[in-house]
Structure 1
Amino acid sequence: MDTAFRKIDIDIYDEDTLQESELYDADPRDPAQVLDDAKQRQAAVRSSLAKGDIGEALSITLDNAPYGPGVDAAKEITLQTLLTILNSTKSTEITGIIKTLSQDSQDTLMKYLYKGMGMPGWGDISGSVLLGWHEKLTEVAGTGSIVRAMTDRRTV
C-alpha cells in the first residue's frame, strides 16, 4: 500500500490558507535586541532575587515577554529565569505575589506555567511547584486566565 500521499503538504496549493504571520503581529523588535533584552532581564532578576524581592523579579520577567518567530533563544532564557523564580518562592507567598500582578502579567504567567508543564520531564522544576503556582493563579485570576492563555496566538 502506498502511503506517500500522506506526506504531501496540500496547504501549499491552497491560496486561502491562514499563515501564522496573519494571526498576530510579530514582535516589532529585532531578534538580536530581544535576546539582549532577555539577558538584561535575567541579570535584573538575579539582583532582585538576591534582595529577596520576588514580586519585582516576577514583574521584570513577565513584562514585555518575547513572542513570535525567530526569538527562540530569548524565549528559553526567559523560561529558565521564570522557573528559577518559581522554584525560589515559598508557597505561602505565592498568592500575595500573584495579586500584585496585572491581568496581562497573570495571563503571561499562565502561559509560562503551561509551557513549563509541556517540557519533557518538566525540566529542572518539580511538578508540585508548577501545579502549586497554577492552583494559586487560578484562585486569584479565575478560569478566564486559563482561557485567555489557551486562545492567545502569541506563544511564549
Structure 2
Amino acid sequence: MEVNHRKIDIDQYDEDVLVESELCEPDPRDPAEVLNDTKQKAAAVRGSLSKGDIPGALTLVLENAPYGLNFEEAKNLNLQTLVTILNSTKATEIPAVVRSLSQDTQDTLMKYLYKGMALPGWGDVSGSVLLGWHEKVRCHRIEQ
C-alpha cells in the first residue's frame, strides 16, 4: 500500500489543534438579524458624525460588533462604517477620542485596525490613517 505522506492531514491526530469555531462563543442571533442591526448602527453613526460626535460614533460601531462565523457581510459593513469614522477624524483629535473610549472599546478598535491593515491595498483607507490611529491607541495603552 502506497501512502503519499504529503497529503495526510496531521492536524487530525493532534488534540491541541485550534479550530476556528472554538475561538469564541457563537453569536445566537441570525445572520440576517446581525446584518440588520449593523445597518441600523451605520445610520446612527452617520447621524453622530453629522453632529461632530466622533467618540459617540466610534462607541456605536465598536460596541457589540458582529463576531463569529457566518457574519462576514455584517463584519465588512461594520469595518466600512469604522473606516468612514477614521477618515473623517482630524489627526489632532485622535488622542482625545482614544482617551474617551473604554479599554474594551480600544481593544476592539485595535482589532479593526489590524483587520483594515490586512486588506489588500488597505481597502478604502490610506495607510497613514490606520497607522496614525494605531500609534495613538498603542501609546495611550502604554501610558495607562
- TM normalised by structure 1 equals 0.83
- Please show how residues 48-87 of structure 1 align to structure 2 within 5 Å: 48-87=48-87
Superposition deviation, residue 18 in structure 1: 4.2
- Please show how residues 43-122 of structure 1 align to structure 2 within 5 Å: 43-122=43-122
Unaligned 5+ segments in structure 1 are 145-156
- In the alignment, which residue of structure 2 is the partner of 1:151? none
Cα RMSD (Å): 2.2
Question: Aligned partners of 1:57, 1:99: CA distance in 2, in Å?
Answer: 14
Question: Aligned partners of 1:22, 1:114: CA distance in 2, in Å?
Answer: 21
Question: Aligned partners of 1:77, 1:85: CA distance in 2, in Å?
Answer: 13
Question: Aligned partners of 2:18, 2:122: CA distance in 1, in Å?
Answer: 32
The alignment partner of 2:112 has SS state of helix
- TM normalised by structure 2 equals 0.89
Unaligned 5+ segments in structure 2 are none
Matched, 1:128 2:128: yes
Question: Aligned partners of 1:15, 1:124: CA distance in 2, in Å?
Answer: 40
Superposition deviation, residue 64 in structure 1: 0.3
Give the partner amino acid of 1:42: A
Range with greater deviation from structure 2 (69-78 or 32-41):
32-41
Question: Bigger relative contact order, structure 1 or 2, given CA contacts below 8 A and separation 6+?
Answer: 1
Question: Aligned partners of 1:23, 1:131: CA distance in 2, in Å?
Answer: 27
The ranges of structure 1 where at least 4 consecutive aligned residues each deviate by more than 4 angstroms after the TM superposition are none
What is the number of equivalent residue pairs in this alignment? 142
Give the partner amino acid of 1:85: I
Give the partner amino acid of 1:101: L
The alignment partner of 1:93 has SS state of helix
Superposition deviation, residue 52 in structure 1: 1.2
